[in-house]
Amino acid sequence: MMENRHIFLVDMQSFYASVEKMDNPSLNDKPVIVSGDPERRSGVVLAACPLAKKYGVQNAERLWEAQQKCPQATIVRPRMQRYLDVSYEITKMLETFTDLVEPYSVDEQFLDVTRSQRFFGEPFEIAEKIKIAIEQGEETKGIKARIGIGPNKVLAKMACDNFAKKNPKGIFRLDETNLKKDLWPLPIGKMFGVGSRMEKHLQRMGIRQIGHLANFPLQKLKRRWGINGQVLWLTANGIDYSPVTLKTYEQQKAVGHHMTLPRDYRKLDDIKVVLLELSEEVARRARTKNYRGSTVSISVRGADFDFPTRLNRQVKLLSPTNDGMTIFKAAFQLFCQHWDRLPIRSAGVALSQLQPASALQLGLFDFDAVLKRESLNSAIDAIYQKYGASSIVRASSLTDAGQAFERAKKIGGHYK
């Protein structure tokens, strides 16, 4: 039997586009597309309002394709800081219904309202009150929410994605009473946790619907994918024991940064500049979060958009670090070893196997060097915090290949 909990996944409809319409009422009756800057190779649809979606516009497709479908659409550059501010206002509003609010993304939040019923009514009543509060709120007026309800987070998420978004009321509950009838007939690609690659693997095994996976022998899935196979089986059966928690981001697994380049980078010297900037940014973030990491990884995408090559490699360090130059040396060596010499359009660096930064390992022969590096990084962080992201950069960032000043204008890869 499933636990008698009442978990919500609250999702904001076309969130970025809705915020733009809220701030600019003249856009209310027009199709709106929020997209990155096509001149800087970031022309991808981040959000499309319902009017634009009626023309077939989809999130994550290239802007020029969306404009062919809906040439009359108004294109708006994203304002990430504004979206984060509105998201924070929504979080504060949700916290008036329960103290168990877990942000899942900028436009999605989990709530546990099990103990809120004595104050606000049954789960459907609470969901309706939340929708009204958001839509009529002073800071969120006009933004529509869709709410999935379930006895756990995974069912609440699938209830929202697959049913609430298509339901006229924008609310749907998924539990053991309708799991087999409503969820199991859906294509396997509709299940939470199944991406395009996994979808193809499962289809080759004859698993075409979520119900097929739910009834597939668990041991066969575990033999093929280990613990991930078990997680897939549990999800298909609507089983999830993870609580709604306020500590979602306290135990981070990795710190990384990835960027799409403004042009194809063909020269090793240019790519070297970008990898150094990314490594410095990752190191600074790790220090801010008080982490050191033992594994450095790189991810690179080739310039051919239709048939892209990909490079993903990682290396274990001798000791944990949060120093930018140490991370860069490992990242650059990985890249040089595995690069196919074809132009690249994006690159990323990440630091994983994290541990508290207080656990600093000092060697007998590099004791002074390590302490000097620690002092230097502390000074750089202080300057960065006081004067901003572009207040101190390496000389290489002043070249044409450098992107440090452009990145300083952005949050999450998009303009503030």
Domain count, the chain: 3
Q: Tell me, what's the pLDDT at 1? A: 44
- The DSSP secondary structure of 151-189, one letter per residue, reads SSHHHHHHHHHHTGGGSTTSEEE-STTTIIIIITTSBGG
63-71: long-range contacts (C-beta < 8 A, 24 or more apart)? 63/33, 63/35, 63/36, 63/38, 64/38, 66/33, 66/35, 67/33, 70/31, 70/33
Residues 25 and 143 grouped into a single domain: yes
Q: By the 8 A CB rule, do 397 and 405 touch?
A: yes
Q: Do the domain assignments include residue 83?
A: yes
* CATH code for position 196: 1.10.150.20
Round to whole Å and give the CA distance between 279 and 31.
40
267-271: long-range contacts (C-beta < 8 A, 24 or more apart)? 267/401, 268/336, 268/339, 269/401, 270/399, 270/400, 270/401, 271/335, 271/339, 271/344, 271/347, 271/401
pLDDT by residue, tens only, the chain of 416 residues: 456 899 999 999 999 999 999 999 999 999 999 987 655 555 789 899 999 999 999 988 888 899 999 999 999 988 888 999 999 999 999 999 999 999 998 999 999 999 999 999 999 999 999 999 999 988 899 899 999 999 999 999 999 999 998 888 999 999 999 999 999 999 999 999 998 889 999 999 999 999 999 999 999 999 999 989 999 999 999 999 999 988 655 556 788 888 888 888 999 999 999 999 999 999 999 998 888 899 999 999 888 766 768 888 999 998 899 999 999 999 999 999 999 899 998 899 999 988 887 766 555 555 556 667 777 878 887 887 777 767 777 878 778 877 776 766 665 555 55
Q: Do the domain assignments include residue 245?
A: no
Q: Do the domain assignments include residue 27?
A: yes
Please report which helix (H) or strand (E) contains residue 349, including its range: strand 344-356
Residues 149 and 30 grouped into a single domain: yes
Angle subtended by helix axes 324-338 and 268-288, to nearest 10: 140
Residues 230 and 275 grouped into a single domain: no
Identify how many contiguous H helices and E strands the chain contains and give both numbers. 15, 14
* CATH code for position 48: 3.30.70.270
Residues 299 and 346 grouped into a single domain: yes
Residues 198 and 290 grouped into a single domain: no
Q: Do the domain assignments include residue 109?
A: yes
Reduce the secondary structure of 262-303 to three states and give it as a string: EEEECCHHHHHHHHHHHHHHHHHHHHHCCEEEEEEEEEEEEC
Burial of 223 (0-12, 13-18, 19+ CB in 10 A): exposed
Q: By the 8 A CB rule, do 56 and 31 touch?
A: no
Strands 171-173 and 7-12, by their bridges, are unpaired
Binding-site positions for Mg(2+) read 11, 107
Q: Do the domain assignments include residue 51?
A: yes
Q: Tell me, what's the pLDDT at 396? A: 81
Q: By the 8 A CB rule, do 45 and 87 touch?
A: no
Q: Which of 20, 102, 108, 281 is an active site residue?
A: 108
* CATH code for position 392: 3.30.1490.100
Q: By the 8 A CB rule, do 268 and 275 touch?
A: no
Residues 303 and 409 grouped into a single domain: yes
Residues 194 and 81 grouped into a single domain: no
Torsion of CA 20, 24, 26, 27, to 10 degrees: 0
Residues 281 and 384 grouped into a single domain: yes
Task: Please list, in sequence order, all residues whose beta carbon lies within 8 angstroms of the beta carbon of residue 234, skipping any fewer than 6 positions away.
Answer: 240
Is 406 one of the annotated active-site residues of the chain? no
Q: Do the domain assignments include residue 247?
A: no
**Separation in Å, CA 126 to CA 113, 167, 168, 176:** 8, 17, 17, 21
Give the domain range for residue 90. 1-175
Residues 47 and 131 grouped into a single domain: yes
Last residue of a domain, one of 147, 175, 203: 175
Q: Do the domain assignments include residue 9?
A: yes
Q: Which amino acid is at 42?
A: S
Angle subtended by helix axes 367-387 and 268-288, to nearest 10: 80
Q: By the 8 A CB rule, do 196 and 171 touch?
A: no
**Separation in Å, CA 174 to CA 21, 183, 189, 234:** 32, 8, 18, 15
Binding-site positions read 11, 107
Q: Which amino acid is at 409?
A: K
Please report which helix (H) or strand (E) contains residue 145, including its range: strand 145-150
Round to whole Å and give the CA distance between 198 and 154.
18
Residues 164 and 188 grouped into a single domain: no
Round to whole Å and give the CA distance between 222 and 145.
37
Phi and psi at residue 266, to the nearest 5°: -110, -30
Q: Do the domain assignments include residue 249?
A: no
Residues 169 and 191 grouped into a single domain: no
HSE-up of 179 (CA within 13 Å, CB side)? 22
Residues 27 and 109 grouped into a single domain: yes
